[in-house]
Amino acid sequence: MNTPNPLGPKASRIALIGECMIELQQRADGSLQQSFGGDTLNTAVYLSRALGDRATVDYVTALGDDSFSDAMCQAWSEEGIGLGMVQRLPGRLPGLYCIQTDAAGERRFLYWRNEAAVRDCFTTPAAAPILAALPEYDVLYFSGITLAVLGEEGRKRLIETLVEARERGARIVFDNNYRPRLWSTVEQARTAYRQVLPYVDLALLTLDDEQALFHFSGSEAVFAAYQQIGTPEVVLKRGAEPCLIDCAGERFEVPAQRVQRVVDTTAAGDSFSAAYLARRLSGGTAVQAAEAGHQLASRVIQAPGALIPRD
C-alpha cells in the first residue's frame, strides 16, 4: 500500500490552467440561477478548500474587463485562489454555458464560448511573463478542455512550458475531460492528447472519455496504453462504479460512495480530482486519495450546480 508518490513529498505552489465561464443553472420552473464554473476552476476551488493554507493555489486563465469577469475574480479571491496569473483582456468576455438536468440528475450543456477571452490566454504579449513563471510551480494541472480552448498556438506554448517545468522538477497532473464538440475532428484531439501525455505524472481519467477518444475496449486497454507511455500514476473514474488505480505497477479498486438521490452530476469528476490530488499532496496513499475523492464527489452530486457551499 506504500506505493511511490509521483507528486513528491512537497508541493506548496500549484497552478491550474483553464477556463471559467458564466454558469446558468436552469431550475424546474424554467428560471435561471447564475454562478460561475468550468472544469479546472471547479477543481481549483475544491483543491483550495481542501489544502487551506498548506499550499498556494493559483488559477491561470484570461478574462475580459467586464462586470462578470470582475465578479469571477472576486469569487476566486474569496476562495483563497491567487489571481496573479489571470489576464484581463480589454473588450473581451468570458464564455457562458447553461446546465439543464433531467429527473435522474443527468446533465445537458448549452455553450456560448467561441469568442471567450481564454482562447488568447497564451498568445497575447502579456502571456510571456505568465508562461515564464509557470515552470517555477511545484504542480501544474490542466485538462482536455484546456487543450481544446487554447487553440493550436496556445497548445504549442503550453507543451513547451510543460517540458521546461518538468525539467525543473515540477509535476504535471492531467484530467482527460474529452468534449468532442470543442474539437474540429477526433484526430485533432488525439494528436493534442498524445503530445502532452508523455509529460504527465498523474493522469485522472474518465473511462467513458478515454473510450470515446481512443476507442479503448475497456480499463485494461487504457492501463496498457498508459503503461506504454510511462505515466507513473493513472486513475480511472467510472461514475458510480469503483475507480481503478494503477500506481507504480500496483493496482487498486476503490468503491464509490452510494447516495440516495442524485440532484446534479455537474463537477462530480472535477471534485473527485481535487480531493484525490489534495490527499496525495498531503502524503496520503492512492487508496486514501480515491476514498477522499469519492467522498467529496458524493456530496457534490447531491446539490445543484458545480460548486457547493463551503460549509
Which residue numbers are catalytic? 270
- Does 48 have pLDDT greater than 60? yes
Phi-psi category of residue 245: left, alpha or beta, with phi > 0 → left and psi -120 to 50 → alpha = beta
Name the pLDDT band for 25 (thresholds 50, 70, 90): confident
The DSSP element (H or E) to which 296 belongs, if any, is helix 286-300
CATH class of 16-300: alpha beta
Average pLDDT over the chain, rounded to whole? 93
Phi/psi for 257 (5° steps) reads: -90, 130
Mind listing the pLDDT tens digit for each residue in 58-110?
Answer: 999 999 999 999 999 999 999 999 999 999 999 999 999 888 877 776 778 88
Q: Which residue is listed with cell 443527468?
A: 106
Domain boundaries, the chain: 16-300
Mind listing the pLDDT tens digit for each residue in 154-164?
Answer: 999 999 999 99
Rounded average pLDDT over 298-303: 94
- Does 1 have pLDDT greater than 60? no
- Does 9 have pLDDT greater than 60? no
